[in-house]
Amino acid sequence: MRAGLEPAVTGAVVSSVTVFDERSLRRHPGPAEDFVDRLVGRTMLAPLRRGKFMWIPLGADEALVTHLGMSGQVLLRTRDVDDARTRIRLDIASPAGALRLNFVDQRIFGSMAIDDLVPTVDHPSQLVPTAVSHIARDPLDPLFDDGLFLARLARKNTTIKRALLDQTLVSGIGNIYADESLWRARIHYDQPTASLSRVKARLLLAEVREVLEKALGEGGTSFDAQYLNVNGQSGYFAHSLNAYGQQGEPCPRCGRPIVRESFMNRGSHFCPWCQRVR
């Protein structure tokens, strides 16, 4: 989504803003009128993202922050196109022409807000919104510190999949990509982090990067119409899944059935032969 928006919104000026559902401003520190007044006429810079947050800087001090929640979408349209369940609409004068950003959110767990930018702890020259400051960098971030991540992982008193889903340790790895990365590294989701060798931890980090890069290249993992890019198109990484959602299917590596077990109100998918607790 960030990559799709970048060429259209970088340098664009916000012409008008329409708030259809104020519930989508739950994270904004003020009423809808304040959101509109602070946004109209502002020039957008290149969008950035961390976890499920994406933000578009509005200069050096503030940013338009979007949290996608479970079903949030930012769809790039021409001015004559509206989408069902649009909660907030931004008309922009872009270098690419007169365009429209529709924030669509079926379940209304996501939001938009204008937030202050603050320095990051590890690199004070880099700014992030205050709402994002507690979230760790993701493994594709150029400033991600492998050594720091591995050291913090070794000190964790938990199991490996719980650690991968801990957004204060590392971001960007959801349930799907955790299962896929653990399958590739041959690590059981319930393996204690303290028992993971540094060599194995480095291998896992490398596999996480491979999975994320491949998923981004294929437009993400779309199981239904809630997971689309900015043009409303589905990603096709679902066709590359080896473990997630493959319960009962043969493991692509050893041929034994993939198993699904309940995990944190979700599921973990793994090969019980290739991925044993060691």
Give the CATH number of the domain where residue 150 resides: 1.10.8.50
Report the candidate in 1, 6, 8 with the shortest Cα–Cα distance to residue 92. 8
Position 166 in a domain: yes
Residues 6 or more apart whose CB falls under 8 angstroms from that of 54 comprise 1, 2, 5, 47, 48, 65, 66, 68, 74
Q: Mark whether 122 and 40 lie in a shared domain.
A: yes
Q: How far apart are CA 247 and CA 235, in angstroms?
A: 21
Residue 241 has pLDDT above 80, yes or no: yes
Q: What share of the chain is helix, strand, coil (3-state, %, to 5)?
A: 25, 30, 45
Measured from the Cβ of residue 57, the count of other Cβ atoms closer than 10 Å reads 22
Q: Mark whether 75 and 179 lie in a shared domain.
A: no
In this structure, of 30-39, 135-144, 181-190, 221-230, the range with the lowest mean pLDDT score is: 221-230
Per-residue pLDDT, 71: 81
Contact 211/177 with Cβ under 8 angstroms?
yes
Contact 76/28 with Cβ under 8 angstroms?
no
229: confidence class by pLDDT, cuts 50, 70, 90:
low
Most confident of 119-123, 228-232, 235-239: 119-123
Residue 206 has pLDDT above 60, yes or no: yes
Q: What CATH number does residue 107 fall under? A: 3.20.190.10
Instruction: Among 132, 163, 190, identify where a domain stops.
Output: 132
In the DSSP assignment, the letter for residue 233 is P
Q: Mark whether 67 and 170 lie in a shared domain.
A: no
231: confidence class by pLDDT, cuts 50, 70, 90:
low
Position 276 in a domain: no
Q: Mark whether 125 and 164 lie in a shared domain.
A: no
Angle of CA points 49, 184, 238, to nearest 5°? 60
Per-residue pLDDT, 176: 92
Position 138 in a domain: no
Per-residue pLDDT, 67: 94
Per-residue pLDDT, 223: 43
Q: Mark whether 161 and 50 lie in a shared domain.
A: no
236: confidence class by pLDDT, cuts 50, 70, 90:
very low
Report the candidate in 100, 66, 105, 71 with the shortest Cα–Cα distance to residue 85. 105
Position 139 in a domain: no
Residue 240 has pLDDT above 80, yes or no: no
Read off the pTM. 0.86
Q: Which domain holds residue 223?
A: 146-270
Q: Mark whether 91 and 154 lie in a shared domain.
A: no
Sign of the CA dihedral with 117 first, then 118, 119, and 121 last: negative
Measured from the Cβ of residue 136, the count of other Cβ atoms closer than 10 Å reads 21
Per-residue pLDDT, 157: 95
Q: Cα separations (Å) of 165 from 13, 38, 115? A: 36, 35, 25
Residue 239 has pLDDT above 90, yes or no: no
Q: Read off the pLDDT of residues 145-189 as tens digits, 9 standing for 90 and up.
A: 999 999 999 999 999 999 999 999 999 999 999 999 999 999 999
Number of domains in the chain: 2
Per-residue pLDDT, 266: 87
Position 275 in a domain: no
Per-residue pLDDT, 220: 58
238: confidence class by pLDDT, cuts 50, 70, 90:
low
Q: Mark whether 152 and 121 lie in a shared domain.
A: no
Average pLDDT, the chain: 92
Q: Read off the pLDDT of residues 61-112 as tens digits, 9 standing for 90 and up.
A: 999 999 988 888 999 999 999 999 999 999 999 988 999 999 999 889 999 9
Report the candidate in 227, 229, 235, 219 with the shortest Cα–Cα distance to residue 77. 229
Per-residue pLDDT, 233: 54
Q: How far apart are CA 44 and CA 47, in angstroms?
A: 8
DSSP, collapsed to helix, strand or coil, labels residue 164 as helix
Region of residue 205 (phi > 0: left; psi between -120 and 50: alpha; otherwise: beta)? alpha
Q: Mark whether 169 and 257 lie in a shared domain.
A: yes
60: confidence class by pLDDT, cuts 50, 70, 90:
very high
